[in-house]
């Protein structure tokens, strides 16, 4: 089966319309009260490698359901008057997730370029993950 559009094309299209932050800039932003840092990685990744302090966990597979007030899975932390910074392991999933949230009507959403790998490479803070964060 030939795909109509592969992940490379999807990533390129998303990248052209979203905003990314370098890890150092994201590190500055996460200390602002109107910013919510969202880790969209699988829980097994968080348990193995830790996460960025203060980040909430919203698995990529549930993100659309958690942000939509009409969903039975809605999480109030996703009130639209906040700024959201998403991240995954390398920036691929967060690129697509950021574009999805823009499509859903979020205006203040961006992602960390290079994801958690880039964050760690710059020596920025990481802490162990405990379920319920």
The domain 17-121 is classified under which CATH number: 3.40.250.10, 3.40.50.300, 3.40.50.2300, 3.40.640.10? 3.40.250.10
3-state SS track over the chain? CCCCCCHHHHHHHHHCCCCEECHHHHHHHCCCCCEEEEECCCHHHHHHHCECCCCEECCHHHHHHHHCCCCCCCCHHHCCCCEEEEECCCCHHHHHHHHHHHHHCCCCEEEECCHHHHHHHCCCCCECCCCCC
Catalytic residues: 88
Residue 133, pLDDT above cutoff 60: no
Lowest mean pLDDT among 58-62, 74-78, 129-133: 129-133
**Domain coordinates in residue numbering, the chain:** 17-121
- In this predicted model, what pLDDT tens digit does every residue of 21-66 receive, in sequence order? 999 999 998 888 899 999 999 999 999 999 999 999 999 999 999 9
What is the per-residue pLDDT for 80?
A: 66
pTM assigned to the model: 0.93
């Amino acid at each position: 089966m030939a795909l109509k559009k592969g992940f490379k094309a999807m990533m390129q299209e998303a990248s052209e319309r979203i905003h990314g932050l370098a890890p150092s800039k994201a590190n500055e932003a996460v200390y602002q009260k109107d910013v919510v840092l969202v880790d969209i990685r699988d829980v097994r990744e968080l348990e193995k490698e830790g996460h960025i302090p203060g980040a909430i966990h919203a698995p990529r597979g549930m993100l659309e359901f958690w942000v939509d007030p009409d969903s039975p899975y809605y999480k109030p932390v996703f009130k639209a008057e906040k700024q959201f910074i998403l991240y995954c392991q390398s920036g691929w999933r967060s690129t697509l997730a950021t574009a999805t949230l823009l499509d859903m009507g979020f205006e203040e959403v961006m992602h960390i370029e290079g994801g958690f790998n880039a964050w760690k490479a710059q020596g920025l803070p990481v802490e162990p993950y405990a379920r319920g964060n």
